[in-house]
Amino acid sequence: MQRLNAATLPALLARHHHFCDGVIHAMTLTYVDASLHGAIRLEVMDQDAASGWTTLELILEGAAWVQVREGPPTNVVMSPFGVHIEFWQDTICLDFSPVTDVDYTMADFKRSTFAVQAAVGWVVEG
C-alpha cells in the first residue's frame, strides 16, 4: 500500500494515464473509530501491465466531504480527463468527474458529480 502525496502522485498518474477512461467498479463507506473511511475500486490503464489494464483500490481515511450526484443510469466510465487529485489545506481532494484539465480550481471540485476530500489517501494495486 502506497501513501498518496505530492511526491508519489506524478508517477502514479503517469503510469495509469491519469485514470482516463477508467471504470469505477465500487465505492464503500465505513465508519472506523468515528471517522469516515472510503474505498474506491477502479480499473485503469497501466503501462506496466501485460494486458494494459489493472485494478486499483484507493483507500481514503478521514473523509471530510463526499459528493456523488449521479442519476440513473449511472455511467461508471470515468471522464476523458481522468481524475484530478489535489492536496489542499492538509487534505487530499479527488475528483472522479472533472470538467476540465486546464486551470482547475477548488470551485470546480465543489461542482463535481463524484468527489471525495479526505485526510489521508492510499493506493493498493492488484
Given a cut of 90, whether residue 12 has pLDDT beyond it is yes
pLDDT at 36: 96
Instruction: Flag whether the pTM goes above 0.95.
Output: no
Q: What is the pLDDT of residues 73-126, one digit of tens each?
A: 666 777 788 899 999 999 999 999 888 778 888 888 988 889 999 999 999 997
- Asked if 56 contacts 44 with a C-beta cutoff of 8 angstroms, the reply is yes
- Residue 12 φ/ψ, nearest 5 degrees: -60, -50
**How far apart are the C-alpha atoms of 58 and 19, rounded to whole Å?**
12
Closest CA to 3 of 113, 121, 84: 121
What is the arithmetic mean of pLDDT over 53-80?
85
Between 79 and 8, the higher pLDDT residue: 8
Name the residue ranges covered by the structural domains of the chain.
Answer: 2-125
**How far apart are the C-alpha atoms of 60 and 67, rounded to whole Å?**
14
What is the arithmetic mean of pLDDT over 9-19?
95
- Asked if 1 contacts 59 with a C-beta cutoff of 8 angstroms, the reply is yes
